[in-house]
Structure 1
Amino acid sequence: MSAADLDLLKVTATDLAVGTWFNDATDTYPTVVLGADAAKILGVVTTGTQVWLGGQYVTVIGIMEPSALAPELDMGAFVGIPAAKDLFGFDGSPTTVYERSTEQTIAQVRELLPGTVSPEAPQNVKVSRPSDALAAKYAADQAFTGLLVGLGSVALLVGGIGVANTMIISVLERRREIGLRRSLGATRAHIRRQFLAEALLLSGLGGVLGAAIGIGVTATFAAINGWPLAVSPVVVGVGVLATLVIGAIAGLYPAVRAARTPPTAALSS
């Protein structure tokens, strides 16, 4: 249980899932606002429920959303300061002070806070920045995204090499077909377009199949963990387009090689 000021939600940028926060009237009564995790543990989903707190029943008037800046609030049960003094013996001395500053004044405020909060023992005051934790989380997310992009690039490269090898083998195995078509009047441009179209079809089918498997694995993993499924159609489209581009590049050399095959050499092989 913690005594909370009226501005706690504003300072920590935390929203309410249901109910209301304390005001000048409700913070004097035996009422409580529960953090998101505390409400789940207690099984409270609506306001008006009474919970046993500090040796007496208090009425739930609000349930908070998960707090990004101050996740420790999620396990809290908060009462107004006047009620905490009257009902629970709170002496009015805060143990934690939340403060918001602009980026330009953070260093200055950090120096002033210990002496302001505890003039008699400023050395006992620990100042931390939730924004540092958020910055670290963002950096970790960026590193993880970069890792996935790198793995995807390697997969595309391997796929492109596979398409190129498949098309080169196809050219070697179909030399008679190429020679026959050339002898019947097909130009080099016709041969190039044929093998390039085959490379695009092969890579396109692989891209669509890979995207379908990826969506299926993502949906299964999300269902197992109870997460909502979020797949961007733009990302899927870009992935399939990337496979087509890689396939076109990989199939270009085999197509040119097939087009340069002399009809007499192809028919005599």
Structure 2
Amino acid sequence: MKNEPVPARLGAGDVLRVGFSGLRARPARVVLSALGIAIGIATMVAVIGISSSGKEDLLRRLDRLGTNLLTAKPGDTLFGSKAELPGTAPEMVRRIGPVTAVGATGAVDATVRRTDRIPEEVTHGIAVQAATIELLGTLEVETARGRWLHAGTARYPGVVLGSEAAERLGLDRVGGQVWIGGPSGGRWFTVLGVLRPAELAPEIDRSALVGWDAAGRYLGFDGHPTTIYERSTDASVGDVRNVLARTVNPEHPEEVEVSRPSDALEARAAADGAFTGLLLGLGAVALLVGGVGVANTMVISVLERRREIGLRRSLGATRGQVRLQFLAESLLLSAFGGAAGVVLGAAVTAGFALWKGWPPVVPGWALGGALAATLAIGTAAGLYPAMRAARLPPTTALAAV
């Protein structure tokens, strides 16, 4: 018994060499099987990366735009009709201690057109609004061309166009004229400037903005604001929000709707997260299909290599060593696919983010999770073929060929 041979143990290097040799013998099949894993991993990494890049861009936009902008608009009365904000509301809001800036717009019953020859019904979805001089600073929007209203131009027939309004009117320069008309008649207004997009107030993008006094003098504006924009210190947003309705309309605060525009961006981020979950599910399905492909490849490999298995067993290889050999091949096959998928997913993320103007972000946990999923799939896919190979008796395996 003392001279009984003891099976040699396979070291880590031996296992890798044996596993690589098994894969090198069937390169085409290995590539096709690894492709399924790569597609699944690339899908999951790209989905997480694109979602993370979009969220990072959104967070940067929120940091730039600020979350301290509140708006107050008229709601509905008890009788179901539209309420009306007092004309003194903007001035009342300025008296709130933490408030740093206040601007307002008021809807004007008028339309803006390139010429007076165009029918009034053709509005192109552009609203005419009266605007206070402080509006631009409150929204922190810049002019793309020309100038904003000031104390002099706000009293005369001048207009500043939102970004979409200028595009719909086909105006790419300042100094031209547009026809603004309403029930009391109309007249030509000189285009003073064109604004950049107002991300927190998209309604401004689709508006033609005239001075508060000019709107009353030339267009019959009644002086009642329809939207009040205010900014306060970040720490006091909640307190200002609690008192804003009562300040805007002390007699009927229930008829005032107060909102924070940045909430819409945060809600969109949550919706994007839900959509990301759906895409991750699709990526998981692709990964599962890839795992099935690996398992199928390994089962076929066992059937084709019965003579090799029998020969190794006859030369002294234990069942555990045979099992370890085929499990190593499965793990290596999955690892190749997983590595290719990680690289492909990161490349897709970077390309898409750069195309959208986002900062490319691929979370480290996504890469770690992808590699862990790859190893899990490789283990699950190779376990049955490895056990089947280990159970083959040497004589049966050699006689089968």
Once the two structures are TM-superposed, the CA of residue 97 in structure 1 deviates from its matched residue by 0.7
Gaps of 5+ in 2: 1-127
Confirm or deny that 1:4 pairs with 2:131.
yes
CA contact (8 A) 1:207 1:243 kept: no
Question: Could you say which residue in structure 2 is the equivalent of 1:93?
Answer: 224
Deviations 1:94-147 (A, max 9, x none): 222112345653443234223322345444333233233333222211211222
**Pair 1:150–1:29, CA change in 2 (3 A):** same
**Pair 1:93–1:202, CA change in 2 (3 A):** closer
Once the two structures are TM-superposed, the CA of residue 53 in structure 1 deviates from its matched residue by 1.7
Question: Could you say which residue in structure 2 is the equivalent of 1:152?
Answer: 283
Once the two structures are TM-superposed, the CA of residue 207 in structure 1 deviates from its matched residue by 8.1
CA contact (8 A) 2:131 2:209 kept: yes
Please tell me whether Structure 1 or Structure 2 has the larger radius of gyration of its CA atoms. Answer: 2
- Greater relative contact order: 1 or 2 (C-alpha under 8 angstroms, separation 6 or more)? 2
When normalised by structure 1's length, the TM-score is 0.71
Give the whole-Å Cα distance in 1 for the aligned partners of 2:316 and 2:167: 77
Once the two structures are TM-superposed, the CA of residue 2 in structure 1 deviates from its matched residue by 0.9
Select 2:248's aligned residue among 117, 137, 146.
117
When normalised by structure 2's length, the TM-score is 0.51
Which has a greater percent of helix?
1
Which has a greater percent of strand?
2
Give the whole-Å Cα distance in 2 for the aligned partners of 1:256 and 1:162: 15
Question: Could you say which residue in structure 1 is the equivalent of 2:154?
Answer: 27
What does 1:1-269 align with in structure 2 at a 5 Å threshold?
1-54=128-181, 55-102=186-233, 104-180=235-311, 196-197=328-329, 200-201=332-333, 204=336, 238=367, 244-245=374-375, 248-253=378-383, 256-257=386-387, 258=389, 261=392, 263-269=394-400
**Pair 1:126–1:174, CA change in 2 (3 A):** same
Residue type at the aligned position of 1:24: A
CA contact (8 A) 1:167 1:199 kept: no
Task: Provide the secondary structure at the position in 1 that maps to 2:307.
Answer: helix
Deviations 1:231-254 (A, max 9, x none): 96959x959867754553345426
Residue type at the aligned position of 2:279: L
Q: Matched residue pairs, number?
A: 259
CA contact (8 A) 2:146 2:193 kept: yes
Moved more, 249-258 or 60-69: 249-258
Give the whole-Å Cα distance in 2 for the aligned partners of 1:169 and 1:103: 65
**Pair 1:232–1:184, CA change in 2 (3 A):** farther
CA contact (8 A) 1:110 1:127 kept: yes
Residue type at the aligned position of 1:94: P
**What CA RMSD, in Å, does the superposition of the two structures yield over aligned residues?**
4.1
Give the whole-Å Cα distance in 1 for the aligned partners of 2:295 and 2:163: 54
**Pair 1:189–1:23, CA change in 2 (3 A):** farther
Once the two structures are TM-superposed, the CA of residue 87 in structure 1 deviates from its matched residue by 3.0
Identity %: 50
CA contact (8 A) 1:6 1:23 kept: yes
Once the two structures are TM-superposed, the CA of residue 43 in structure 1 deviates from its matched residue by 1.7
